[in-house]
Amino acid sequence: MLISYNWLKEYIDFKESPEAIADILTMSGLEVESNKTLDDGDVILELNVTPNRADCLSVIGVARDVSAVLKKKLKRPEINDFKNDGDAGFKVEIIDKHLCHRYCGIIINGVNVAPSPDWMQKRLNSSGIRPINNVVDITNYVLLEFGQPLHAFDLKKLKGDKIIVRAAEEPQAVTTLDGAARTVPAGTLLICDADGPVALAGVMGGQGSAVSDTTTDILIESAWFESASIRVTSKRTGLRSESSFRFERQTDIDGVKNAALRAVSLMIELCGGRVSGVIDNYPTRYETPQIALTREKVQGFLGVQITGDEIEDILKRLDFKVERQTGDFIVTPPSFRRDIELEADLIEEVARIYGYNNIPPVMPELSLAINNVSDKHKKLSELRHSLRYAGFTETINYSFTTREDFTLLDIPAGDERRKVVTVKNPLQKDYDILRTFLLPSLLRNLKYNISFSAKEVNIYEISTVFFETGNGFPAERLKLAVLSYSSGGKKLYTEPAAHFYRIKGQLEPILSGLRCVKYELRPSNEDFLENDQSADVFIGGEKIGFFGLLSAETAARFEMIDDKPDIAVFEMFIDKTDAPIEHERTIPMFSANLMFKYPSIERDIAIVVDDAYQSGDIINLIKTEHLDPERLIESVEIFDHYKGKNIPEGKKSLAFHIVYRARERTLLESEIDALHAEIVRRIISKTGGALRA
Amino acid sequence: MTALQELFLKELEAVTSTTALRELRSRYTGKNGVITGELKKLPTLAPHERAAFGKQVNTDKVFIEERLKEYEQVLISKEIKSKLSKDPVDITLPGYYKKPGGRHPVTIVLAEIADIFVSMGFSIEEGPEVESDYYNFSALNIPRNHPARDMQDTFYIENSADGQSGEGAFVLRTHTSPVQIRVMEKRVNESRTNGTPLPPLRFIAPGKVYRCDSDVSHSPMFHQVEGLVVDKNISFANLKGLLEGFLHKVFGPSVPVRLRPSFFPFTEPSAEVDMGCYFCKGGGCRVCKGTGWIEIMGAGMVDPRVFKNVGYDTGQYSGFAFGMGIERIASLKYGIDDIRLYYEGDLRFLRQF
């Protein structure tokens, strides 16, 4: 809201500069966002009035706060009461009393419509309101001064000498002042004459009853409309006016008549005319609450030694009624402070006028307590750390995405990832669903970076994904996705492993970091991955993720065509491994292996088998329990994987290193020779392979 | 020195490679070596000479083995050195390693904030990103049609309820404040079940929040950290003390901090927390719009209406809450002027961190 410094000065005697006043306002709750000096030296302050402070949507309201801080008297404009000069025979009927609590109408005959004086036009202009004519300008001037919206009707255009305030029973056509023909829904509060609507209550007048150059008789409307109703009308019609803005925030019901009388004084002064009817219909009375307040509570809550006298003084300066009873107070807030309901609300009033700056900063004293801290935060930070040192940069993408993802990535119908949560009012029309997986975002990140000629892109994201459940809250799960791209450009050192093994090498430490050992890999059924270069990750029969090389077709669909696309990806749920990330520190997570006390015996096996066998199959054969009931095999590691010269076509050579160790004794060479030979025999018989010469 | 030892040393002197040394070793200490040969003479000696002779041969053996071992070390080092000198390194070539990736600035700032609060005994709590109308608005004293909803233009979830902002509606949470309600509700239920008094409460709740807004300084998704402290005798002065301490830790001990009255439906009194402008040091610049102050967080004493909604006794307990935008803090710390940079995934930007 815009406030003139000079105008403000009319209500309080102060010498403070505009900057000092701006500071006072900001520090007492009316933030001054900017100020502008006009040609005539006046300064216009732009205030950010919070929604609870409807009383400050006026010059007098703002002046009241300033006077409270400066401890100076507020000078209010004089209001003359007008008696009916004659019975105009005009009636105001309020049908929906719960929506219109008070309606004051004043009839003035014989006005002379003309431009308003310069000083008034200037004030309106500097407050952001366009001058129209003296009658309309006065209603707006009083709106700015008191915060009470007023409306002037051309009395002769109102049919049947009456105003009826009622909610529309059915959709109703109304042509508003701005010339727009609108249809408002049933329930909209209307101001009607005998024929029908003449204004959208609290929002905008109708064109048919507008004051024009030829108007001589007018009805001034000053009313109190229920805020929610005005808000709905404003929202449904898309009309926002100075009036609706104030009604939505609740106006001062006790000030309704005063504001009308103030306008009448100005009209008689500036437009001529005489009052011929004063109607004040006030069917729904406002009961001001009485709130108990204690000095101890104020002191304890704020942490300051404020005295009872200071509390009383501050509240009274804000026009609160204060009854004092030995240190305690019974406080009645004024009718323009409907935001004040509880003790805490009063304490805030005391605090803001006392000055937040005068409250000392004191660290709280809290007793120690064991918090049920989950490991999640720590584990995620370790995960981020290890990914970082493996060369990956974290990205954060919007949770919104598009259904196009499913086509681009060939996600089959019925796939879990298609159970999406839809946003009703997205910012971008197509980006109206929440992500169920992160890969599409990373692929877009990649494409974006390639457009800047990035040669190597190693990125990851950790984020919540959302699945529709059909009953209110979606299922929120935590996922990690990793993408590694290399343009195959020239490099100083050669990479020691193929891309598939490099991305798998990212996955494995993550799984073990999450204390996840019982996972199983199966050939992937994801259509967007290369067939023989990918795998799915399972835990307890449930698929938790996938990894491998992105298929050339998918890369092409994302318009990333390369002679040799080299994009490796993996994605997995990280909230549901066999040691869930939310695990609370209650029990040891695993038992340490303490077998190292006795010496080990080590043996190697090199075997040539058909290509169809994977190294994991051979390791499983080596670890077969029935050959090794005592669990003497401590570890099996593959150290060679070879195809080519000296190995027949369609076969490969695999070599394993086995460490044998017993838990409670020293092993004998002879027993391990026997066990090892048995294992070798078993592999040969099961695979049809041969020991490598 | 025995004759055998002298002879051995002479031969050792001629050895210049590990291969020659191995050959020498085998010739002296091997199965059919000189030492074995000497020992074979034993049976031919008179019984009284045998002990002395045996002892002598053994001394020779130890002497030879030790010299061999010593000299072997010397030769190995020499050979490694000569091999390396034929293939000298370029010490200015880059080492072979994976260049570490960048941390996301939002993650850095979140971690920094979490560390400060965890060091003060705060726990870290979370809540869902898709929230019910109740937790996001009503329980926080933001009733239907309240003008405070003007401040937050909210994303609504399809099919969640017939009307916007009605009971049963689901939204993308507009702030992390619903976590306050969830945690307090949980505490009250636990305390009722166990018959134990409510323990002191202090936690932060970091996470993503959403608002229908998108420009240079607004993003439809951003990150907030919410904080809540509830105990007996918590005052507004405590709120000031804690937040001042926190901001001094993040931005340096000399940064001025001020609280000024504001409005949030779920706190009373409410405060906007400003700190002295980082860039102009109070002189007035573009960042602080000439005021010398930068708005950095919102805070206030927990509104009794909120305590009532979760079942806390306001006669016994008081508390304060605060909330801050992470991108805003990161932008101030790193001089970032376009919030969209955080979400573009541009490695040229992200790798700096």
DSSP symbols for B97-132: -PPP-PPPHHHHHHHHHHHHHHHTT-EE----SEEE
Second CATH level (architecture) for the domain B105-350: 2-Layer Sandwich (3.30)
Q: For residue B18, how many other CB atoms are within 10 A of its CB?
A: 14
Strand arrangement of the beta sheet that strand A456-467 belongs to: A393-394, A456-467, A475-486, A567-573, A542-550, A529-539, A519-523
Q: Do A389 and B241 touch (CB under 8 A)?
A: no
Q: What is the DSSP letter of A206?
A: B
The answer to whether ipTM exceeds 0.90 is no
A76 in a domain, yes or no? no
Q: Which residue has the tokens 């002296």?
A: B28
Q: Do B236 and A359 touch (CB under 8 A)?
A: yes
Evaluate whether A629 touches A663 at the Cβ level (below 8 Å): no
Q: Do B123 and A492 touch (CB under 8 A)?
A: no
A503 in a domain, yes or no? yes
A579 in a domain, yes or no? no
A364 in a domain, yes or no? no
Q: Do A301 and B236 touch (CB under 8 A)?
A: yes
Q: Which residue has the tokens 């259509």?
A: A527
Q: For residue B53, how many other CB atoms are within 10 A of its CB?
A: 15
Answer yes or no: do A388 and A340 share one domain. Answer: no
On the 0-12 / 13-18 / 19+ scale of CB atoms within 10 A, B151 is: middle
Helix B236-251 / helix B105-119 crossing angle, nearest 10 deg: 130
The residue range of the domain holding A644 is 595-691
Q: Do B107 and A384 touch (CB under 8 A)?
A: yes
Q: Hey, is the C-beta of A451 within 8 angstroms of any chain B C-beta? A: no
Beta strands in A333-467 (DSSP E): 393-394, 400-401, 433-434, 456-467
Evaluate whether A430 touches B139 at the Cβ level (below 8 Å): no
What residues of chain A lie within 8 A of the CB of B190, using their CB?
none
- Structural domain tally of chain A? 5
Q: Residue A653: name the closest of A665, A640, A663 by CA.
A: A640
Evaluate whether A485 touches A437 at the Cβ level (below 8 Å): no
Of the three residues A354, A385, A400, the one that is the final residue of a domain is A354
Rounded to the nearest angstrom, the gap between the alpha carbon of residue B225 and the centroid of all alpha carbons in its chain is 17
Beta strands in A214-320 (DSSP E): 218-225, 274-281, 291-294
> Could you tell me where in chain B the CATH 3.30.930.10 domains are found?
105-350
Q: Which of B133, B240, B246, B320 to mutate to test the interface with A (most CBs of A within 10 A)?
A: B240
Give the pLDDT confidence score for residue B86 in this predicted structure: 86
How far apart CA A481 and CA A462 sit, in angstroms, is 7
Answer yes or no: do A237 and A269 share one domain. Answer: yes
The domain that holds A621 is classified in CATH as 3.30.70.380
What residues of chain B lie within 8 A of the CB of A29, using their CB?
260-263
Evaluate whether A693 touches A616 at the Cβ level (below 8 Å): no
- The identity of residue A162, as a single letter, is K
Q: Write out the H or E segment, with its range, that includes residue A140.
A: helix A134-146
Of the three residues A281, A306, A340, the one that is the final residue of a domain is A281
Question: Would you call the peptide bond into A361 cis, given omega within 30 degrees of 0 as the criterion?
Answer: no
A85 in a domain, yes or no? no
Beta strands in chain B (DSSP E): 123-124, 130-132, 170-172, 201-210, 221-231, 257-264, 267-276, 293-302, 318-325
Answer yes or no: do A111 and A242 share one domain. Answer: yes
Of the three residues A303, A322, A354, the one that is the final residue of a domain is A354
Give the pLDDT confidence score for residue B125 in this predicted structure: 93
Answer yes or no: do A535 and A403 share one domain. Answer: yes
* CA distances in angstroms from A585 to A365, A478, A580, A589, B183, listed in the order given: 27, 20, 11, 8, 19
Chain A: closest CA distance from residue B238 (Å): 5
Give the pLDDT confidence score for residue B9 in this predicted structure: 92
Answer yes or no: do A13 and A109 share one domain. Answer: no
Answer yes or no: do A171 and A228 share one domain. Answer: yes
Answer yes or no: do A616 and A552 share one domain. Answer: no
A345 in a domain, yes or no? yes
Q: Do B262 and A31 touch (CB under 8 A)?
A: yes
For residue B205, the SS3 value is strand
Answer yes or no: do A121 and A140 share one domain. Answer: yes
A586 in a domain, yes or no? no
* DSSP3 helix / strand / coil % (chain A, rounded to 5): 30, 25, 40
Evaluate whether B198 touches B234 at the Cβ level (below 8 Å): no
Answer yes or no: do A273 and A301 share one domain. Answer: no
Q: Which of B145, B170, B215 to mutate to test the interface with A (most CBs of A within 10 A)?
A: B145
A84 in a domain, yes or no? no
Give the pLDDT confidence score for residue B162 in this predicted structure: 44
Give the pLDDT confidence score for residue B145 in this predicted structure: 67
Q: Do A363 and B242 touch (CB under 8 A)?
A: yes
- The identity of residue A255, as a single letter, is G
Per-residue pLDDT of chain B (353 residues; tens, 9 = 90+): 888 899 999 999 999 999 999 999 999 998 889 999 988 888 888 888 889 999 999 999 999 999 999 999 999 999 898 888 888 888 888 888 888 999 999 999 999 999 999 999 999 999 999 999 899 999 999 877 665 565 458 898 987 554 445 567 899 999 999 999 999 999 999 999 998 888 789 999 999 999 988 888 889 999 999 999 999 999 999 999 999 999 999 999 999 999 999 999 999 999 999 999 877 887 788 878 888 899 999 999 999 999 999 999 888 899 999 999 999 999 999 988 899 999 999 999 999 98
Answer yes or no: do A189 and A127 share one domain. Answer: yes
The domain that holds A471 is classified in CATH as 3.30.930.10
Answer yes or no: do A50 and A121 share one domain. Answer: no
Strand partners, B275: B257, B294
Give every residue of chain A whose pLDDT is below 50, as ranges.
583-589
Answer yes or no: do A543 and A634 share one domain. Answer: no
How far apart CA B49 and CA A533 sit, in angstroms, is 79
Q: Residue A434: name the closest of B344, B170, B307 by CA.
A: B170
How far apart CA A33 and CA A44 sit, in angstroms, is 11
Structure tokens at B315: 């006669």
Give the pLDDT confidence score for residue A576 in this predicted structure: 66
